[in-house]
Chain A
């Protein structure tokens, strides 16, 4: 099993630019999660999809953030326009069935730096 695959691993861009983070969940998993980790706030859930449908997006900080899951094997998290305070490590995770019925498997994360 390839595990959860995220790309890119690192992204450095200037403020105002559009940033797109990508995630491929483990095949057969029906739940996908996007998390953000910063020194100040630790790990925070941004959005949770179940069967490609957004279930909980209450963690999405503002309208500059958007996430899509067009099919069971791909999701994107987009920031437009990006700001320096968006600098963080963004993790994608997937599970067989929901956030609390099965363990979550994490990708290696994308380290995002907005200059």
Chain B
């Protein structure tokens, strides 16, 4: 069964804190996606990675293929980082188009 699980479900942090959001998946994948959904509802693709680490500004995504685990880190968090962060992996066994989404991690950064 293809599953994508995220933790924590909710996260509250103080401005400036280092944030880590975790994503585990149950089967081998070709690429894992991290998405950000703003409070207004818009969705932005943050990263797509299949190995190692990617960095964009204060955001860092890592993936460990052997452990089937990915993490999204936010350094020096800011209230504008408050959003829902979603990871997604391709559904193995079906068409490669079918992504399985995690339930999301709702992050709230307090000033």
Question: Measuring CB to CB, which residues of chain A are less than 8 angstroms from any residue of chain B?
Answer: 33, 42-45, 48, 50, 55-56, 58-59, 89, 91, 93, 98-106, 108-109, 111
Contacts and interface: CB of A to CB of B under 8 A. Distances in A.
B52 interface: no
Contact of B41 (A33, A56, A99, A109): A109
Contacts of A89: 41
B44 interface: yes
Contacts of A101: 31
Nearest to B46: A103
A42 B33 CA distance: 15
Interface stretch (B59-67, B72-80, B92-100): B92-100
From A99, A108, A109, residue with most partner B Cβ within 10 Å: A99
A98 B96 contact: yes
A42 B97 contact: no
Nearest to B45: A103
Contacts of B30: 100
A99 B42 contact: no
